Amino acid sequence: MKRTKRSRLVSIIWKAAKFSGLAALLSPANPLLTNFMLFHPEKDIAVDKAMIEEINQKFKTTWTDEFFMAKDGTKLHGWWIRRKDARKTILISHGNSGNLGYRMHLISTLLDCGANVFAYDYRGFGASNGSPTPEGIADDGLSAYDYLVSTKSVRPDHIVLYGESLGCAVSTLIGQHRQVAGIVLQSGFSTIVEAAGDRLPWMRLYPEAAFPQRFLDNVTAYKSKHPPLLLLHGAKDWILPARYSKQIFATAIEPKQLVMLPECAHNDVHFKDTELSKETLNQFLSSLLISQTVAHNKFDAQDIMCEEEKVTACTK
């Protein structure tokens, strides 16, 4: 009898141990699982030299390879593409797969809108060293911004962040910690917790506190004061459905704008609905210039009034 009870107890303990091991293996706190699910980098950059030449001729651009260091010393690679009389500089944080070579159409569209472009690869992508992690790509985004400001002498109020898919969360994080003129989120998700639960249903069993990556969040930052926000999303996106951008828009305070691209899915934005996306981006950049001009004139007027008040006080 004692042996039977002992056998049952051992069996229960063994089953509990197996369940705990499985729960730990499938947990969002398991970095091997989450990094495997989140990142699909490619090291070889397929450079379309003919397209680069076409872009350079069309927009009279200067195209250079840039190497810079992340805060932890990881060497990163980017493309610095400049055109004369650019009205803004757009910092691209791309999605979770491929590398810079897959973003040629996006780069061309942004240049066509009259902007400089700085596009970089996260650690582990393209010519960047290291291996990607959620914390690592966040650091990479901040390092790319700081490189633009400190090394390339780009003014903070000249920088517009452009996040693509996973890169939306990186752009949101940069916007929380650095001064920027505006933010564009294309094909993004709401929070990594919600997106993980939608893609991997068992993730819903874990509390939010179990997600070390929960700082990848495109909702919370826009509930309080933020730079002008533009949301672009393909209506036919089945990878990250358009309801995510609608949710971000619904909870965000002004200034905000949501534009749905009716023919686009997830990976063909700037291949389809090109005129709509380009027109939208053009208008967004123009609105930033107008608002900054108004703000500048307002401050100038206040300074003049202050000076006049000082003169009046001195002559009394």
Q: What confidence tens digit (pLDDT) does each residue in 105-132 have?
A: 999 999 999 999 999 999 999 999 999 9
The pLDDT of residue 314: 38
By mean pLDDT, which of 188-197, 198-207, 258-267 is the weakest?
Answer: 198-207
The pLDDT of residue 34: 84
Q: Cα–Cα distance between 71 and 50 in angstroms, integer? A: 35
Most confident range, picked from 10-24, 253-267, 301-315: 253-267
The pLDDT of residue 313: 46
Helix, coil or strand: residue 68: strand
Helices 134-150 and 31-38, axial angle in degrees (round to 10): 60
For 150, 168, 194, 221, 239, the CA distances from 191, given in Å and listed in that order, are: 31, 10, 5, 11, 14
pLDDT of 278 > 80? The answer is yes
Q: What is the set of domains in the chain, with CATH numbers?
A: 41-307 (3.40.50.1820)
**Helix intervals (H) in the chain:** 2-25, 31-38, 49-59, 104-112, 134-150, 167-177, 192-199, 243-251, 274-315
Helix, coil or strand: residue 176: helix
Share of the chain above pLDDT 90, in %: 71
**Global pTM?**
0.87
**What's phi and psi for 56, nearest 5 deg?**
-60, -40
Q: How many CB atoms lie within 10 A of CB 248?
A: 27
The pLDDT of residue 7: 61
The pLDDT of residue 16: 45
Over range 66-91, report the average pLDDT: 96
By mean pLDDT, which of 20-29, 133-142, 143-152, 241-250 is the weakest?
Answer: 20-29
- Contact assessment for residue 58 and residue 81, using Cβ atoms and an 8 Å cutoff: no
Cis peptide before 31 (omega within 30 of 0): no
